[in-house]
Structure 1
Amino acid sequence: MADKVFEAGVQAGRLDSPTYETHFADLHPPLDTHEAIVAADRCYFCHDAPCITACPTDIDIPLFIRQIATGTPDAAAKTILSQNIMGGMCARVCPTEQLCEQACVREMAEGKPVLIGQLQRYATDHLQEQGVHPFTRAAATGKRVAVVGAGPAGLSAAHRLAMLGHDVVVYDARSKAGGLNEYGIATYKTPDDFAQGEVDWLLKIGGITIETGRTLGTDVTLEELKSDFDAVFLGMGLGGVNALGADGEDKDGVLDAVDFIADLRQASDVAKVPVGRDVVVIGGGMTAVDAAVQAKLLGALNVTLVYRRGRDRMNASPFEQDLAASKGVRIVTHATPKAVIGNGAVREIEFDYVGDDMTPTGQTLRLAADQVFKAIGQTLEGANLPALENRKIKVDGAGRTSVQGVWAGGDCASGGDDLTVTAVAEGRDAAMDIHAALIG
């Protein structure tokens, strides 16, 4: 057939420009004012609201929804941002259907929760679009804090510390600040360069300097930071990617899903990002789904997501799984990679079917593939770090590590779920404990 989408091999430009624009448009178009007020009116404004308990950042959800309902969205935004300074991004990427909206009384009674996530976006966007920063710095304390990692945890910690009067220097290995929000989330979830816009807005608090292209262990050491600053917060995320453990995984065309997602996010034109005709994604988390869906949106003919356990064990939410299926992604469960087949470059990949106990059943699956994306988890990179626990930096409830004067949070630290909203909460809470330690 003449349609380029059916051509074999890895190539760019499989679709026409209008199709790309449609495919990578905003996944959830924002509510207008009328829609927001109608949605807000459904809230019961519960006194002991279970949605607050379900929110990792403890936002007073009934209060901010009431403020929207009464026509004061900027006040609603301040309520949100006082607990979650990255409330705009979290409104776009947080799995609200598993957190606050799942706990909503309307969900339990009617199966249709209040649109908490979309209302949060409405309020935070309204404020951010005006270029207004709702917080001011406290009097200078004379204390200096180093933050490693300009992702959700690091930026959350930096903002709270700056607001409390400390001077903060943020170091990040990449060329842009934002971390996961800038490099690791599907393009259709954060169009129009929202991540960088949120970073620029956050920095309006003042007192924060960001130094990009500075890697811990290479360009700066933990000992140097401890010597030069009054406290250190580590929030550099996870830089390594786990290996498949399959024969032939070093063949051309076997790539890390996180790199594919980052390339898409940084592309000035998504049409220039190459994709295969037959794509296989291995993994069961949000990264796997983001890679699989975007491969399909780029014009891949066949996209298969393969996970070693059942769908009920996938880290990707049911909403994300359904989104993948709706875009034409085939989901195969209870299968583990056995061998990557091809002469130099991948042509097929073979899987063993396994039972719930991960024991091979004796049956195999072979899929055509000219691109394979690994999304089977990331690992912590770095030497001379504080003590580890389960391959992450060990922290207590306040984010303190085994090293005096060093805190950690986000994906690099042991603790809660690997979610943007959790990282924001951990950065905020560690900042409060750093502040308490610094002022005695």
Structure 2
Amino acid sequence: MRDFGRSDDPRVQAQLDRLGQLSVPQGRLGLDTITALLARLGDPHLRLPPVFHVAGTNGKGSTCAFLRAMLEAEGYKVHVTTSPHLVRYNERIRLAGKLISDEALADVLAEVLDAGEDLSPSFFEVTIAAAFLAFSRTPADACVVEVGMGGRFDATNVLTPEVLAACGIAALGLDHERFLLAPEDGVPTEPMARIAFEKAGIAKKGVPLVTLGDEYPEQSRSAIADVVRSSGAQLLEAGSDWFCDYLHSGSDGLVYSESRYELELPAPALPGAHQGVNACLAVAMLRTQVKLPITKAALRHGIKTTTWPARMQRLSDGPLTSLVGEQTIWLDGGHNPSAGKVIAEALADRPNSLHLVLGMLDNKDPTAITGPLGDRIRTLTIVPVPHHDSHPAKAFGPNAKAAVDVEEALLGLPSDDYPVLIAGSLYLAGEVLRLNNELPD
């Protein structure tokens, strides 16, 4: 079952119900449908403020959050579209800094759904069309657009060189293999090269494409370079065109540098060494574009104020955290092996053991999180992912126990000083935030 969101506003819920009826015809690839839909809406994607377009397997959402915070620190008004939403569909569309209102959301979804009724658009195509339509009608200085899946055939890839300020590719890993590794003539066959090829599909002629360069395996770098040559984009790679290093232990801050430029930055507000890399990727994208001036002060302030829910988020006091007394609860929506590695690294300076509450969709690798954490898992409790098919406890080995929901899982934990990590799915993370009264804003 797919979760298209729920709303207390009946007008919004009526449109979400319509979204829930949409499906993608089997085997359909390409940008024809989204292009036709946008044409009926007056091509709003051609009338946007300068756009920062971000792809990647992991870290693209955090990179978008850094971009937004840094641009807003400069005083710019910023539109943002990211996915998925955690609690409310409104989270997918941010207009000039604020989540879209229920009234505006109901109107724009109805307009898009009515316009494309005979085109059979997908849920994501409608979402992106609605976002671009709302963006085009609301004054702002910049847009930050997160790729949904892949890049080459993603609905966001209708963006043209005229509106793009810079494109970026965050960390790469294997995910959505059924779609991104589907057999096709004329594309790379090695899995990581194919993933990179799909992500690099956002490259556009004359537009900077900023990548993590030497953070990728060589086959990925080579595939990206091939796409850049054929597209005419401008490639800027970490490790050759720009550099990111931690000061001392990593808690003291970062140094971002280019051949004739160096900038010391405070440590990111988001925990984990990987967030330093994501922050530097955002800095490199802002530094390489020419449409919007950005100061060092804005870059520094933005990195300190960035927030991104459900990415190694420490839960605040609330109904859920009250169930475990003084124990700290961390929340992360990570669900693939790359995310599992990042979570393990982010917790490296925490106590050696933790209680893991895990819920994973049944199409995900059940060892994605447990593998990287290894023997640091003190107890393992498996919960269902609300409204989705998920792995049962037996998929995680003999030491895993089942709970009917997150509340039961937390109540069943021993009372000790070890932290709790809830992970495995962004859908589960959204439910946790809702239950703890921490709605993303």
Q: TM-score, normalising length from structure 1?
A: 0.32
| Structure of larger gyration radius | 1
Question: Taking CA–CA contacts closer than 8 Å with sequence separation of 6 or more, which of the two structures ends up with the larger relative contact order?
Answer: 1
